[in-house]
Structure 1
Amino acid sequence: MQAVSRTMRKNGGGSIINASSVEGLAGMPSCTAYAATKWAIRGMTKCAAMELGPKGIRVNSVHPGMIDTPMTRVHGGDAAMEYGASKVPLRRVGVPDDIAPVYVFLASDESSYINGAEIAVDGGVTSTHAFGA
């Protein structure tokens, strides 16, 4: 953000989109270090949105849930994908094509009044209450 904000200010504004995770919205056992970095991105996004908004720069974060990629498949392959899908209200894990349009939207002028938002793209995982799952 620091590297691009100066150029964005000179060019009249822009959109910064930070990549986080659902672990930046809720805790998960055995993921303390990972979750801490994702919560940090969330907080950094909020602060930057307030600081850069007056300069015409919007700052938002995207929080994907379980996405079927080589990185997630390394932790159990098809079995992990099936187990993950069973925990998602939509009963499937996401694919990269579920995430990409959110980034395109946030980068576009169609989202010109969205600043400081955290967008969960998780099939509904973060919509639940602890007793609802």
Structure 2
Amino acid sequence: MKHSSAYVATKAAFVSMSKTAAIELGDESIRVNMIHPGGIKMSMTTNVDYTKEQYSSVPLGRIGQPSEVAKAVSFLASDDSFYCTGTEIIVDGGLTLGSHV
């Protein structure tokens, strides 16, 4: 994306720091994981018109819901993910995969 160098640089730094923290803290049984949400419909964006057309190129064809991100967070916070560390879970309906139309 044009004009996104600051965003890309800070996101890469966040991912690298999280993975390094996972390595450094593993001996203490501290797990470090990441959630990367895509477009999520939230109360702070109620004035934005999320039309089907805007999200039609996303493989799942819609904007995400907060509950969908919460379920990923819940998984990582649960014992079901006990052996996960340094993990990245992308909750974006396939947005980062590219367009399907």
Q: Give the TM-score normalised by structure 2.
A: 0.84
Report which of the two has the higher share of helix: 1
CA–CA distance in structure 1, aligned partners of residues 46 and 6 of structure 2:
20
Unpaired stretches in structure 2, ≥5 consecutive residues: none
Specify the code of the residue in structure 2 equivalent to 1:69.
Answer: M
CA–CA distance in structure 1, aligned partners of residues 8 and 89 of structure 2:
16
Secondary structure at the counterpart of residue 35 of structure 1:
helix
Aligned to 2:22: 49
CA-CA distance at 1:126 after TM superposition: 1.9
CA-CA distance at 1:37 after TM superposition: 2.0
CA-CA distance at 1:71 after TM superposition: 4.1
Identity of aligned residues (%): 48
Q: Note the alpha carbon deviations across 1:48-90, whole angstroms, 9 max, x for none.
A: 011011110110100001111244455xx11xx2243122110
Aligned to 1:30: 3
Q: Give the TM-score normalised by structure 1.
A: 0.66
> How many pairs were matched up?
100
- Compute the RMSD of aligned alpha carbons: 2.0
50 and 40 in structure 1: CA distance in 2 versus 1, 3 angstrom threshold? same
Report which of the two has the higher share of strand: 1
One of 38, 56, 59 as aligned partner of 2:32: 59
